[in-house]
Amino acid sequence: MIEFGQILIILFAFIWVVIASNQVAKFFQKIKFPLITGFLLSGILIGPYGLDLIRIDSIGKLDFINYTSLAFIAFAAGAELYLKEIRNSIKSIVWNTFGQLVVTFILGSLTMYYIADIVPFMQGMSHESKIAVSILTGTIFVARSPSSAIAVISEMRAKGPFTRTAISVTVIKDVLVIFLFTICLSIANVLIHGTDFHLDFIIYLIFELILTFIFGFILAKIIEILLAIPVSDYIKAIFILILGFGVYEFSHFLRDNTFSFLPFELLIEPLLVCIIASFWITNYSKMRLDFHKIIEDAGPLVYAAFFTLTGATLSIEILLKTWSVALIIFFVRLITMIIGAFVGSTLAKDPKIYKRIGWMPYVTQAGVGLALAFEIAEVFPDWGGQFATIIIAVIVLNQLIGPPLFKWAIKLVGESHLPSKSSDRTNKTALIFGLEHQSLNLARDLQNENYSVEIASIKKRKNIQHITDVKIHFLEGLSVKCLNAINIKKFETIILMLSDDENYKVCELIYENIGTKMIIVRLFDSIYADKFHELGALVVDPSTAISKLIEQFVRSPISASLIFGEDDDNKTMVDIKVQDKNIHGIALRNLRLPPDVLILSVKRKGQMLISHGYTRLRRGDIVTMVGSMESLEDLSLQFEE
């Protein structure tokens, strides 16, 4: 009971430390450093090798945080592997995965074996033990960081074949590296413990992998049942974390007890169990979106706790002694990745520039690499701590230079979609004809949506000096000369709110002398509608619009409230055109939409479809969505070519 009370006190203190660590990490993010750097440095500062706020004997009592976080990292990696989104880039993905996985692993393992004599903890090891350490290091060389890659892609608004291949290879490798690690860990156990290789070992290994797949499937079904329960997402997240911890405890139980009633020690890799479960839910479950939302929401807290605790366990003394070795391993990994990327891009017949820069997206490491390092430290306590310290130093270096390299590569292949500073408002300019209460309100609403709006009036009004937030032009008349005087060509959208005769005159002048514009006309008498339609204008008839809007409120109050923004001022509605061939053919139910986005309709070749979850999108479709501006901007990038 006293032990449990001590753990609670230590846990409470650690939670406060994590809160402080999170603030420190945000400061590092402001100065363009990754969040992980802030977490690790915070952990080092408060750990037993820093200020000793968390004592070395207390760290052992927090092992459950490590196990829970490692399981969560595996869940997050599996959730990123969504097969429907990568089916059109399979060839490039397969060969680049081969280059980065096989070539990097082989070259990394060989190099590590030949530099063993300069690695302190490997000096004096047997030939077999050196091979074991080398293949385990080669495995960690392969591990990447999907979360960091996704962060860079979001920041750069990157879209294109290079970016798609990079993120797909990153995620697939983080799945495959768990398989590779499971096999290499079993081989390392045999080599280090001096057991002879025989046919039984291969059979045991296959049996362990089959059992791991079965446990992964069972875990997926348990999580599906949990997600279907109508309770808060916070409660579901807590139970998913508990399940992840339970997988580790179950794995330890099997390893410690199977040898007494079986002729071998049963090793079930918990990371692989979690990643299989996550992969199944993501690709073959109706609970995909719920699961992805929970992973996304819980991620920042879990990563903060995990990386802070990781920093606290780092031995500064060992780090100072082995920094030169860490630097060598860091450069060795870079070289193996460059060779692997060249081989993979060549086999995939990718463009020449990919062969030169194809390694840049894969430098960054974080969660999975650290997870494997800690797993090795636990399985081989004699030298595992020193091994983990060196690997963590390498991962920190990779995390520092990886994101800038990926950003550079995205710019080199021209797949960055960041807005140009000189043309931020090029497509969001509007000119409103008519100065009145409605036009002023419309101008201000459009400005809130980042439009550059100006008003043109043919009548001067009193108290005009009080209007300072909207630029107003006063026209001497309605002529081509007057329109050119206000540089009407720079506006993409023209809104006419004058009398019907004046609106028609302006519309005709634009149609005959200035060129096609998006023209929206507020109509007073519906008998003029056809005349405006002939000039390509969009007509809003107030006499019918009010009744239509009231009808919409009666038939669907929720959608009407969304249209008017009464439920949430941050919600907006947009039409997005499907241009990406990878979206072509995907059913609406299989789209990975943000939780705050709702699809209202699909329009194809001018016809509105009666859409449902099984409606498959086609290139050229216009999809009407409602949601937050941030989410809709991300989706518009996803739908672009």
Examine the domain organization and report whether 357 and 260 are in the same domain.
yes
Question: Above 70 in pLDDT, residue 86?
Answer: no
Q: Is residue 322 part of a domain?
A: no
| Domain CATH code at residue 608 | 3.30.70.1450
3-state secondary structure of 622: strand
Provide mean pLDDT across the span 387-416.
81
pLDDT of residue 393: 81
Examine the domain organization and report whether 471 and 613 are in the same domain.
no
pLDDT of residue 619: 81
Is the Cβ–Cβ distance between 84 and 282 less than 8 Å?
A: no
pLDDT of residue 597: 77
Residue bearing the bigger pLDDT, 639 or 219: 219
Residue bearing the bigger pLDDT, 28 or 165: 165
Examine the domain organization and report whether 301 and 449 are in the same domain.
no
Provide mean pLDDT across the span 600-628.
76
Examine the domain organization and report whether 467 and 589 are in the same domain.
no
Is the Cβ–Cβ distance between 576 and 563 less than 8 Å?
A: no
| Range of lowest pLDDT (128-142, 154-168, 170-184, 554-568) | 554-568
How many domains is the chain built from?
3
Q: Is residue 419 part of a domain?
A: no
Provide mean pLDDT across the span 620-636.
75
Question: Above 70 in pLDDT, residue 334?
Answer: yes
Q: Is residue 621 part of a domain?
A: yes
How is residue 511 annotated by DSSP? I
Measure the CA–CA gap between 243 and 261, rounded to whole angstroms.
26
At 198-209, the pLDDT tens digits run 666 677 777 878
Examine the domain organization and report whether 402 and 430 are in the same domain.
no
pLDDT of residue 263: 61
Q: What is the dihedral of CA 174, 176, 181, 183, to 10 degrees?
A: 170
Q: Is residue 387 part of a domain?
A: yes
Tokens of 534: 């002939």
| Range of lowest pLDDT (92-101, 335-344, 376-385, 415-424) | 415-424
Task: Give the CA count within 13 Å in the CB-facing half-sphere of 133.
Answer: 30
**Which string of b and e fits 112-134 if b means at least 16 CB within 10 Å?**
bbeebeebebbeebeeebbbbbb
Range among 60-69, 165-174, 333-342, 558-567 with highest mean pLDDT value: 333-342
pLDDT of residue 218: 92
pLDDT band of 11, cuts 50, 70, 90? low
Examine the domain organization and report whether 406 and 431 are in the same domain.
no
Amino acid at 164: R
Measure the CA–CA gap between 90 and 102, rounded to whole angstroms.
17
pLDDT of residue 222: 92
Examine the domain organization and report whether 403 and 446 are in the same domain.
no
Question: Above 80 in pLDDT, residue 185?
Answer: yes
At 506-547, the pLDDT tens digits run 888 888 787 767 888 888 877 778 888 888 888 887 766 656
Burial class (CB in 10 A: 0-12, 13-18, 19+), 565: middle
pLDDT of residue 217: 92
Measure the CA–CA gap between 152 and 402, rounded to whole angstroms.
10
| Domain CATH code at residue 476 | 3.40.50.720
Per-chain mean pLDDT for the chain: 77
Residue bearing the bigger pLDDT, 273 or 27: 273
pLDDT band of 2, cuts 50, 70, 90? very low
pLDDT of residue 257: 77
pLDDT of residue 423: 42
Q: Is residue 442 part of a domain?
A: yes
Tokens of 426: 């090029």
Examine the domain organization and report whether 357 and 240 are in the same domain.
yes
Measure the CA–CA gap between 588 and 615, rounded to whole angstroms.
6
Q: Is residue 578 part of a domain?
A: yes
At 242-282, the pLDDT tens digits run 998 888 888 878 877 776 666 666 777 787 888 889 889 98
Measure the CA–CA gap between 119 and 324, rounded to whole angstroms.
9
Examine the domain organization and report whether 522 and 601 are in the same domain.
no
**Which of 412, 445, 463 corresponds to the end of one domain?**
412
Question: Above 60 in pLDDT, residue 565?
Answer: no
Is the Cβ–Cβ distance between 587 and 614 less than 8 Å?
A: yes
Q: Is residue 274 part of a domain?
A: yes
Between β-strands 607-609 and 598-604, what pairing exists: parallel, antiparallel or unpaired? antiparallel
Task: Name the residue among 398, 387, 392 with its Cα closest to residue 112.
Answer: 387
Range of the domain at 611: 569-639
| Range of lowest pLDDT (62-66, 477-481, 628-632) | 628-632
Examine the domain organization and report whether 115 and 255 are in the same domain.
yes
Question: Above 70 in pLDDT, residue 57?
Answer: no
Question: Above 60 in pLDDT, residue 561?
Answer: no
Question: Above 60 in pLDDT, residue 377?
Answer: yes
pLDDT of residue 34: 61
Question: Above 60 in pLDDT, residue 361?
Answer: yes
**Which of 545, 561, 577 corresponds to the end of one domain?**
545
pLDDT of residue 426: 47
Question: Above 70 in pLDDT, residue 345?
Answer: yes
Q: Cα–Cα–Cα angle for 136, 144, 222, nearest 5°?
A: 90
Tokens of 621: 């479709």
Residue bearing the bigger pLDDT, 367 or 476: 476
Helices (DSSP H) in 285-315: which residue ranges?
288-313
pLDDT band of 421, cuts 50, 70, 90? very low
Residue bearing the bigger pLDDT, 227 or 639: 227
pLDDT band of 160, cuts 50, 70, 90? confident
| Domain CATH code at residue 202 | 1.20.1530
Examine the domain organization and report whether 67 and 216 are in the same domain.
yes
Is the Cβ–Cβ distance between 128 and 380 less than 8 Å?
A: no
Question: Above 50 in pLDDT, residue 422?
Answer: no
Q: Is residue 45 part of a domain?
A: no
Examine the domain organization and report whether 222 and 293 are in the same domain.
yes
